[in-house]
Amino acid sequence: YVKLKNSSYKLIKDGVIAILHNKIYTLGKQYIAQEHISVEALDDFEHLYKAYHALGGNGTGTEIYKRVKELPMKQGKE
């Protein structure tokens, strides 16, 4: 039972990482293409990345996060 429970936990964790990675990749690509980001959008993006990173995500998600953080800020919502 414990082994099955741990296995299920890992599958759920991996699935959440995959969903967060997809969202980071999709939004990050959009923000990079428009060459700016609003304060509100950056705040939301940082929340996604922090959860992704805390769960063990890295690699391309981290690279996209770094590039988005370097974008100029634009006032107002996206």
Per the structure, the count of domains in the chain is 1
Tell me the whole-structure pTM to 2 decimals: 0.85
Query: Dihedral angle at the C-alpha atoms of 48, 21, 52, 1, nearest 10 degrees?
Result: 130
Convert the pLDDT of each residue in 19-61 to its tens digit. 999 999 999 999 999 999 999 999 999 999 999 999 999 889 9
* Element housing 74 (H / E): strand 73-74
Residue 58: the pLDDT is 87
pLDDT, position 1: 57
Domain that holds residue 26: 2-74
For residues 2-25, give the mean pLDDT: 90
